[in-house]
Amino acid sequence: MNASQPLAFVNARLVDPESGYDGRGGVIVSEGVITDVAKGREFGKLSKAVRVIDCGGALLAPGLIDLRVRTGEPGAETKETLASAAKAAAAGGVTSFVVQPDTAPAIDDPSVVDFILRRARDIDSARILVAGAATRGLKGEQMAEIGLMREAGCVYVTDAGKPIVDSKVMQRVLTYAKGFDALLAHRPMDPWLGKGGAAIGGEFAGRMGLPSISPMAERIMLERDVALLEATGGKLLVDQISSAQALETLERAKKKGLRIHASVSINHLSFNELDIGDYRTFAKLNPPLRGEDDRQALIEALASGLIDVVVSSHSPAPAEDKRLPFDEAAPGAVGLETLLPALLSLYHEERIALVDLIRAVTLAPAELLGLRGGRIAPGAPADLVLCDIDAPIIIDAARLLSKSKNSPFDGRRLQGQVLMTVVDGRVVHRAEG
Amino acid sequence: MTASAHDPSQAAIETIRARVFAFPKRHFLSAGDLNALQAVELLDLADAFVALNRQTSKTLDILKGRTLMNLFFENSTRTQSSFELAGKRLGADVVNMNPKTSSVAKGETLIDTAVTLNAMRPDLLVIRHASSGAASLLSQKVSGHVVNAGDGQHEHPTQAVLDALSIRRAFGRVSGLTVAICGDVLHSRVARSNVALLHTLGASVRLVGPPTLMPSQAERWGVTVHHDMKSGLAGADVVMMLRLQLERMQGAFVPSTREYFRFYGLDREKLSRAAPGAKVMHPGPMNRGVEIDSDVADDPAISLIQDQVEMGVAARMAVLTSLAARLEAAQ
């Protein structure tokens, strides 16, 4: 399709998180940007050059921005390449995603950032962004070249799933990153309380004989991080908060006015530890699944705005890494294609308003990274998703476009069929049929 | 009068054949797989095997033509020998695999091994593995019957059967007894299986041990939890000691073996709190002077430890026979 051909999306249920609008409307895009927005009205007579797409009342929202995607490239391309991840993203309505730095080699150097971004330029089905490592080799010892990586185009820094254990290093990273206004995403997990564990300690793990992680491991390290944040004045994203206890810490920190934000993975909003069932390794995640009380608390926190962002936490792992005894299996699940329909469950269950759910995967991550996307306004990038939010679907892992098929949603009935995904004004995905 | 009445060995065989029942599930992965009736039937069958095992001629042809594979990813001389003997006495072809020196050491996964072994068409696969859930994983990938001979910290169901058999033979019943399971419950698959089966059979169960070695919310297993041996053993009919896994000492679960023995090791003084005539059990191998005093362990008047070893073969013969009966019922 010609990227320069203007498109007019009409007869949509338009959701714009920036203005809080949820109602009938349409959008005109041209030259890769949104040029006109109709809210509660129809466009006037359109020129013949404009291709009109009748949305039939389906949801039209900004394309999703996923802050946390692991790929296998570079280093483990059999798990996932940037191109295969981008295809999966397009199929899931994700128009931008941030690659995590725990690749091989790690993205801890401006040249690797540059390498990824150069590869990304040849991939047009999604915008690929990069997170740089906070410390060299993600070892938590020496600070990585945060400034140079920012210059090379990295959007935030993180040691991905690995906590920075040394408090002095953490303090320095927060302090130094502030100079470049770089966001630090950090997974709070006390390494000693988490050592050797495959599941969160509790009745379920005890009964199943699974080596366990103390339920307090997350909160304890978050308390430390908050204290350091207070001292340094940095900007912190709590990476995939998962416990009710840690939410209390987060709330206190936010009330103090600290620059602290939090993400939650869609998996932790959708599953609890009982989904591990008979040692189902697809439900082995990092952080591990918790009890139903924690899941409910996370949903409440998302509804209240305490949690800012929802991520897919896309972590491809091939069968050989998953078909192992539970404590030996790799953690993680693919999620780019299931993020939106899984998130919509919270709307269908009347837990969270649609506009608030959409905000958590569009505007909120865009604002955290200082991107212009994530909103439906003239001048914003023409990154859009069209979705029939009522259409029932059954997730079939074998049909996912990711190279790895490790999805805990396999077989789950959800509602929400992505009909079309648009990146930069180009249609990059269209549902079959 | 039948001929068997004159021939004690034939009588034992006829009793066994009369008591054979088809196992409720395709695999024996958990002690919780049995309901009360099935558990009693299994113990009755095992009892008949005890009689056979005490005869000169101990072999039968119940598993003739069947192949039993012992797949021990973790070393265990006594459990492996017990299964091997059980299989051979039932007439099966028994193969012992030692994955530590096989392809597994070269990077082959459990599933790869399972698929390879499955191609050899074993009827019964006995697996021990250091990871919880490994037996369950294997059972999903093979066509034969899987017996869990210990998976990580999860379950060891045939140990629970032999323990229940030992208790029933000592007391004539299991129902109504109070059993105190003491020591490192956290890491014990024996404890998890015993809690399930003893409950099914109507015993009341206590767990006794230091808080660091007690699973979180263990009281929700339907047991009472004690951190003090005096209250834990008070009036108990059976004191089941667990092995303290000495490698756990490095994890600082307990300060020293000396302190552990002082507070949680079983000696005459602590045992005196139990009911008169109480029996002592231990799944072995024992750390003498750590969790149990030799004086108690070796006293035949109170120790069932040697009985447990004997019952192990009979219990496993019963389990294998019942699984094979299911195999035949399915064919």
| Tens-place pLDDT, residues A8-23 | 999 999 999 999 999 9
CB contact under 8 A, B132 and A325: yes
The encoded tokens of residue A278 equal 């008979």
**Chain pair A-B, CB pairs under 8 angstroms:** 70
B79 appears as a binding residue in the annotation? yes
Q: Which residue on chain A is closest to B214 by alpha carbon?
A: A206
Residue of A214, A279, A280 to mutate, interface with B, max B Cβ within 10 Å: A279
Report whether pLDDT(B193) > 50: yes
Q: Is A296 helix (H, G, I), strand (E, B) or coil?
A: helix
State whether B137 and A325 contact (CB < 8 Å). Answer: yes
B216 to A205: CB separation less than 8 angstroms, yes or no: yes
B216 touches chain A (CB under 8 A): yes
B89 in a known ligand binding site? no
Q: Residue B132 and residue A209: Cβ atoms within 8 Å?
A: yes
Determine the structural domain holding residue B221 and report its residue range. Answer: 157-305
Share of chain A above pLDDT 90, in %: 95
Residue B322 within a domain: yes
Please report whether residue B89 resides in a domain: yes
Chain A residue with Cα closest to B134: A325
Query: Quick check: B1 pLDDT over 50?
Result: no
Residue B183 shares a structural domain with residue B130? no
Q: Chain A residues with CB-CB distance to B under 8 A?
A: 201-203, 205-212, 278-279, 320, 323-328
Residues in chain A with CB shorter than 8 Å from the CB of B155 are 209
Host H or E run for residue A22: strand A21-30
3-class secondary-structure state, position A38? strand
CB of B156 less than 8 A from some CB of A: no
Q: Would the annotation count B159 as a binding residue?
A: yes
Please, is A33 exposed, middle or buried when counting C-beta atoms within 10 Å of its C-beta (0-12, 13-18, 19+)? middle
| B128 is known to lie in a ligand binding site | yes
A244-255 and A292-304 helices cross at what angle (nearest 10)? 30
- Cα B193 to Cα B159: distance, rounded to the nearest angstrom: 8
Phi, psi of A2 (to 5 degrees): -75, 120
- Distance in angstroms (rounded) separating the CA atoms of residues A387 and A362: 15
Least CB–CB distance from A209: residue in B154, B218, B221: B154
Chain A contacts of B221, Cβ < 8 Å?
207
Interface of B with A in 81-110 (CB under 8 A): 109-110
Under the banding of pLDDT at 50, 70 and 90, the label for residue B297 is: very high
A209 contacts B216? CB cut-off 8 A = no
One-letter amino acid for residue A24 of the chain: R
User: Alpha-carbon Rg of chain A, whole angstroms?
Assistant: 21
CATH at B201: 3.40.50.1370
CB contact under 8 A, A326 and B132: yes
Whether residue B167 sits in one domain with residue B136: no
Tell me whether residue B227 is annotated as binding: no
Which of B73, B128, B131 to mutate to test binding with chain A, by most A CBs within 10 Å of its CB?
A: B131
pLDDT of residue B3 exceeding 80, the answer is no
pLDDT of residue B8: 65
Ligand-binding site membership of B284 (annotated)? yes
Span A408-426, average pLDDT: 97
Q: Encode A168-183: b = buried (16+ Cβ within 10 Å), e = exposed.
A: ebbbbbbebbeeeebb
B331 has a pLDDT exceeding 80: no
Domains and CATH numbers, chain A: 7-60+381-430 (2.30.40.10), 63-373 (3.20.20.140)
Residue B109, pLDDT score: 77
CA distances from B74 to A285, B246, B247, B251 (A): 27, 16, 15, 21
Is the ipTM value over 0.85, yes or no?
A: no
The answer on B263 and B202 residing in a single domain is yes
Contact A325 B215 (CB under 8 A): no
| Co-location of B92 and B147 in the same domain | yes
B51 located within any domain = yes
- Residue B54 labelled as part of a binding site: no
Q: Spell out where A49-174 has E strands.
A: 51-54, 59-62, 64-69, 94-99, 127-132, 156-158
pLDDT tens per residue, range A304-315: 999 999 999 999
Q: Does pLDDT of B98 surpass 80? A: no
Mean pLDDT for all residues in chain A: 96
Q: How far from chain centre, in Å, is Cα A232?
A: 27
Contact A207 B136 (CB under 8 A): no
pLDDT, tens digit, 9 for 90 and up, residues A109-129: 999 999 999 999 999 999 999
- Write down the pLDDT at residue B330: 64
Q: How far is B279 from chain A (nearest CA, A)?
A: 27
The Cα of B147 is separated from the nearest Cα of chain A by a number of Å equal to 16
User: Sheet holding A127-132: strands in order across?
Assistant: A64-69, A94-99, A127-132, A156-158, A184-186, A236-238, A260-265, A309-311
* B324 vs B66: CA distance, rounded Å: 9
At B2 the pLDDT is: 47
Contact B109 A323 (CB under 8 A): yes
Contact across the interface for A210 and B151, Cβ inside 8 Å? no
Q: Does residue B35 sit at the A interface (CB-CB below 8 Å)?
A: no
pLDDT value at residue A414: 97
Structural domain contains residue B3:
no
Is there a single domain that holds both residue B240 and residue B179? yes
In this predicted structure, the answer to whether residue B104 has a pLDDT above a threshold of 70 is no
Q: Is there a contact between A279 and B215 if contact means CB atoms under 8 Å apart?
A: no
Considering only CB atoms, A326 lies closest to which of B111, B133, B189, namely B133
Q: Which of B109, B153, B217 is opposite residue A202, by nearest beta carbon?
A: B217
Q: Cβ of B131 and A278 within 8 Å?
A: no
Which residue in A320, A323, A327 is closest to B132 by CB distance?
A327
For residue range A37-78, list pLDDT tens digits in order.
999 988 988 899 999 999 999 999 999 999 999 999 999 999
With 0-12 / 13-18 / 19 or more C-beta atoms within 10 angstroms meaning exposed / middle / buried, residue A24 is middle
The average pLDDT across B122-133 equals 94
Instruction: Tell me, yes or no, whether B86 and B194 share the same domain.
Output: no
Q: Is B206 on the interface with A (CB under 8 A)?
A: no
Q: Three-class SS of residue A108?
A: coil
Nearest CB to B133; choose among A201, A323, A325: A325
Q: Is the pLDDT of residue B105 over 60?
A: no
Q: Rounded to 5 degrees, what angle do the CA atoms B111, B116, B119 make?
A: 125
Contact between residue A8 and residue A52 where contact means Cβ atoms under 8 Å apart: yes
A278, A284, A293: best to mutate for the B interface, most B CBs within 10 A: A278
- In A74-137, at which residue ranges do the beta strands (DSSP E only) sit? 94-99, 127-132
Cis amide leading into A105 (omega within 30): yes
What are the φ/ψ torsions at residue B16 (nearest 5 degrees)? -60, -50
What angle is formed at CA B184 by the lines to CA B100 and CA B247, rounded to 5 degrees? 45
CA distance A135 to A141: 6
Rounded distance between C-alpha atoms, residue A343 and residue A346, angstroms: 6
Q: What is the pLDDT of residue B213?
A: 93
Binding residue per annotation — B106? Answer: yes
**Tens-digit pLDDT profile for residues A283-335:** 999 999 999 999 999 999 999 999 999 999 999 999 889 989 999 999 999 99
Q: What is the mean pLDDT of chain B?
A: 91
Nearest by Cα to B188 from B156, B228, B220: B156
d(CA B198, CA B210): 22
Q: Is B6 exposed, middle or buried (0-12, 13-18, 19+ CB in 10 A)?
A: exposed
> Region B55-80: what's the mean pLDDT?
91
Residue A91 CA to residue A110 CA, distance in Å, equals: 30
Q: What is the number of other CB atoms lying within 10 angstroms of the CB of residue B293? A: 20
**In the predicted model, is pLDDT for residue B5 greater than 70?**
no
- Closest approach of chain A CAs to the CA of B225, in angstroms? 14
Is the pLDDT reported for residue B188 higher than 60?
yes
Q: Domain check: are B126 and B246 in the same one?
A: no
Domain co-membership, B142 together with B27: yes
pTM for this entry: 0.90
If we measure between CA atoms, which residue out of A281, A306, A289 comes closest to residue A218?
A: A289
pLDDT in tens, A251-269: 999 999 999 999 999 999 9
pLDDT at position A352 is 98
Domain membership of residue B200 (yes or no) is: yes
B190 within some domain: yes
What's the token pair of residue A100?
A: 């995590």
> What mean pLDDT do residues B200-211 have?
97
Subunit contact B137:A202, Cβ cutoff 8 A: no
Same domain for B183 and B151:
no
| Amino acid found at B141 | K
Residue B1 lies in a domain: no
Angstrom distances, CA of residue A117 to CA of A98, A102, A161: 11, 16, 22
For residue A406, the model assigns a pLDDT of: 96
Contact B216 A211 (CB under 8 A): no
pLDDT digits (tens, 9 = 90+) for A343-391: 999 999 999 999 999 999 999 999 999 999 999 999 999 999 999 999 9
Does residue A34 have a pLDDT over 70?
yes
- Do residues B133 and B47 both lie within one domain? yes
For residue A315, give how far its alpha carbon lies from the nearest alpha carbon of chain B (Å): 21
Query: What one-character-per-residue DSSP string does B51-117 give?
Result: HHHTSS-----TTTT-EEEEEESS--HHHHHHHHHHHHHTT-EEEEE-GGGSGGGGT--HHHHHHHH
Q: Quote the number of domains for chain B.
A: 2
DSSP, collapsed to helix, strand or coil, labels residue B204 as strand
Choose among A201, A203, A325: nearest Cβ to B134.
Answer: A325
For the ranges A412-421, B184-193, B318-327, which has the lowest average pLDDT?
B318-327
Residue A197 distance to chain B (closest CA, Å): 12
Domain co-membership, B290 together with B206: yes
Looking at the structure, tell me whether residues B104 and B241 fall in a common domain: no
Mutation pick from B30, B132, B186, B193 vs chain A, by most beta carbons of A within 10 Å, is B132
What Rg do the C-alpha atoms of chain B give, in angstroms? 20
Residues A125, A127, A128, A129, Cα dihedral to 10°? -170
Asked if residue B146 belongs to a domain, the reply is: yes
User: What pLDDT is attached to residue A5?
Assistant: 87
Which secondary structure element, helix H or strand E, spans residue A70, and what is its range?
none
